[in-house]
């Protein structure tokens, strides 16, 4: 039997690159100026999976992502680096999902891929910033979770030993399999694309992407069926509608405020107590610190 590793990854706006150029004149975030990227810690997660595959030849790495059509980009990216296959979970019904609804959908997709041995996610996505989806998916699957993984120290068909990175130290734990691990950014970075794989998968597309192509790929796909990236809808997952999207999400966003940066000429402050206190108050009020 294959040793099946499922990697959960999300495409996110690059919120780390919100420099002065990505702010609009009114001081709000210019989302359009942010590129869509592979969530950074999910690349660390992918690397953990690929390095297991390096050691265990019968291991296979499957990437799962939930998102719009465009999110297929990160499936291709994972294939270029060594993933064997990917599935895009995509449906209007998933829109507005909070972490509970997201983990419900992801867990159904993981179950569809059973039997599996290991599920690997990033610790946290840089847009929602909650770090909740990993543990919630583990709960829905009824399997143990190992959060903040930095290194897999050993692995066999039945158990895994993982080094965890905590606030003030490290912990080494042993878990039965299957289990879900969430990977911390202190784990090794992901390997680069491999030229041969780039050539092999560069025409990989989802059905929706193929429909938007002007070129006819029918013949190529008959010859190389592995190029087709499967899309799974809510029906494919046999999901219950009330657990999906907005209706499956107990949290509601009531209000959103952009953090406003006013960029003006440098304000010169004296080193008086009054000036320093005023500055600290301004920083706290604008949520930059505190």
Ligand X SMILES: Cc1cc2nc3c(=O)[nH]c(=O)nc-3n(C[C@H](O)[C@H](O)[C@H](O)COP(=O)(O)OP(=O)(O)OC[C@H]3O[C@@H](n4cnc5c(N)ncnc54)[C@H](O)[C@@H]3O)c2cc1C
Q: Rounded to whole angstroms, what are the CA distances from 23 to 29, 32, 55, 72, 126? A: 5, 10, 45, 28, 18
Q: Which does 57 bind (CB under 5 to 8 A by kind): ligand X, another protein, none?
A: none
Q: Which does 259 bind (CB under 5 to 8 A by kind): ligand X, another protein, none?
A: another protein
> Cβ of residue 261: shortest distance to another protein, in angstroms?
6
Candidates 56-64, 212-220, 224-232, 281-289: pick the segment binding another protein (CB under 8 A). Answer: 281-289
Q: Can residue 147 be called a binding residue for ligand X (CB under 6 A)? A: no
CB 217 within 8 A of CB 203: yes
Q: Pattern 34-53, binding to ligand X, x per CB under 6 A?
A: -----x-xx--x--------
Tokens of 6: 């499922």
Q: Which does 122 bind (CB under 5 to 8 A by kind): another protein, ligand X, none?
A: ligand X
Q: Can residue 251 be called a binding residue for ligand X (CB under 6 A)? A: yes
For 16-41, give one letter per residue: b (16+ CB within 10 A) or e.
eebeeebbeeeeebeeeebeebbbbb
Q: Can residue 248 be called a binding residue for ligand X (CB under 6 A)? A: no
Candidates 45-53, 62-70, 170-178, 202-210: pick the segment binding another protein (CB under 8 A). Answer: 170-178
- Residues 187 and 163: their CA atoms lie apart, in Å, by 10
> Cβ of residue 70: shortest distance to another protein, in angstroms?
18
Count, residues near ligand X per rule CB under 6 A: 32
Candidates 3, 5, 10, 190: give the one binding ligand X (CB under 6 A). 10
Q: Can residue 121 be called a binding residue for another protein (CB under 8 A)? A: no
H/E element, 118: strand 118-122
> Cβ of residue 215: shortest distance to another protein, in angstroms?
37
Report the site for ligand X in 254-273 (rule: CB under 6 A).
256
Q: Rounded to whole angstroms, what are the CA distances from 152 to 47, 48, 142? A: 11, 8, 21
DSSP 188-242: PPPP---HHHHHHHTT-EEHHHHHT-SS--HHHHHH-GGGEEEEE-TTTTT--GG
Q: Which does 244 bind (CB under 5 to 8 A by kind): another protein, ligand X, none?
A: none
Label the pairing between strands 169-176 and 179-183.
unpaired
Candidates 130-138, 195-203, 209-217, 223-231: pick the segment binding another protein (CB under 8 A). Answer: 130-138
Candidates 10-18, 64-72, 84-92, 216-224: pick the segment binding another protein (CB under 8 A). Answer: 10-18
Tokens of 11: 């495409």
- Residues 37 and 101: their CA atoms lie apart, in Å, by 22
Candidates 60, 139, 231, 236: give the one binding another protein (CB under 8 A). 139
Report the site for another protein in 97-116 (rule: CB under 8 A).
98-100, 103
Candidates 95, 114, 156, 176: give the one binding another protein (CB under 8 A). 176
Burial class (CB in 10 A: 0-12, 13-18, 19+), 253: exposed
Report the site for another protein in 23-42 (rule: CB under 8 A).
23, 29
Q: Can residue 266 be called a binding residue for another protein (CB under 8 A)? A: yes
Largest CA distance in the chain: 75
């Amino acid at each position: 039997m294959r040793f099946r590793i499922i990697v959960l990854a999300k495409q996110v706006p690059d919120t780390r690159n919100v420099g002065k150029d990505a702010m609009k004149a009114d001081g709000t975030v210019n989302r359009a100026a942010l590129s869509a990227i592979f969530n950074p810690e999910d690349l660390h997660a992918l690397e953990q999976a690929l390095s297991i595959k390096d050691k265990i030849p019968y291991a296979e790495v499957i990437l799962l992502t939930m998102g719009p059509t465009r999110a297929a980009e990160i499936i291709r990216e994972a294939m270029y680096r060594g993933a064997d296959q990917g599935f895009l979970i995509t449906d209007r019904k998933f829109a507005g999902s909070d972490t509970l609804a997201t983990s419900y959908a992801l867990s159904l997709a993981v179950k569809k891929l059973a039997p599996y041995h290991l599920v690997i996610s990033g610790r946290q996505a840089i847009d929602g910033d909650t770090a909740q989806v990993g543990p919630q998916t583990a709960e829905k699957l009824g399997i143990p979770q190992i959060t903040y993984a930095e290194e897999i120290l050993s692995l066999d068909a039945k158990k895994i030993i993982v080094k965890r990175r905590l606030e003030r130290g490290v912990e080494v734990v042993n878990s039965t399999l299957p289990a879900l691990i969430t990977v911390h950014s202190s784990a090794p970075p992901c390997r680069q694309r491999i030229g041969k794989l780039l050539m092999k998968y560069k025409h990989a597309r989802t059905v929706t992407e193929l429909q938007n192509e002007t070129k006819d790929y029918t013949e190529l796909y008959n010859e190389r069926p592995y190029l087709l990236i499967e899309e799974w809808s809510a029906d494919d997952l046999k999901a219950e509608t009330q657990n999906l999207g907005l209706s499956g999400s107990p949290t509601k966003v009531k209000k959103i405020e952009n953090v406003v940066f006013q960029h003006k000429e440098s304000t010169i402050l004296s080193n008086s107590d009054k000036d320093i206190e005023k500055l600290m108050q301004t920083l706290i009020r604008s949520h930059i610190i505190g």
